[in-house]
A = this chain, B = another copy of it.
Amino acid sequence: MWHEPDQGDAFAPHDHALCQSRALAEAEERLRQQGARLTPVRRRTLEILLEAHRAMGAYEVLDRLAEAGFGRQPPVAYRALEFLVEHGLAHRLQRLNAFAACLHPGEDHAPVFLICRVCDKVAEAHAGNVRSELSSAAGELGFTVERATVEALGLCPACAGRDAE
């Protein structure tokens, strides 16, 4: 029924409960190694992102945190989100002013994001080639790439199918 779970492919049908619990387990393991703490706010924030399984604005996350009994002030959400991003457990999507849980933390990845303009789902694509082409194009101008933002807007397979009908 489910195909073999590819952690990066949010567009493919898959078992959400499973990918959530795995991401959470990986997060705990990773943070333990780094000596960082997954405190209640941080944990809840990650769960919120994982449950939504899409990009969420900081204020949307904040509302959910408040419902769970945490503070209602922006820094509460921004701090937790920043922590997750710094530790590779979530990503920030510049194009949307939003955040999404990382679906395969642990890998040393600098992902490329695919954002469906219809359903707002976000997938992370493997993109070693994109990065290396970028570095080489930059290198021609003597520029050294340190971090890169690669975000594509378009149509996911499900929405493209619906469109075509």
Q: How many copies does the complex hold?
A: 2
Instruction: From B125, B126, B143, B151, give the contact of A152 (CB < 8 A).
Output: B143
- Provided the pairs A112-B134, A127-B134 are in contact, do residues A9 and B149 lie with their beta carbons within 8 angstroms? no
Q: Mark A126-165, 1 if CB is under 8 A from B, else 0.
A: 1101100110111011111111111111111100100000
Closest chain-B Cβ to A147's Cβ sits at a distance in Å of 5
Interface size of A by CB at 8 A reads 40
Contact of B154 with A151 in the complex, beta carbons under 8 Å: no
In the complex, what residues of B have CB within 8 A of residue A141's CB? Answer: 8-9, 11-12, 114, 123, 125, 157
Q: How far is the CA of A127 from the CA of B145 in the complex (A)?
A: 14
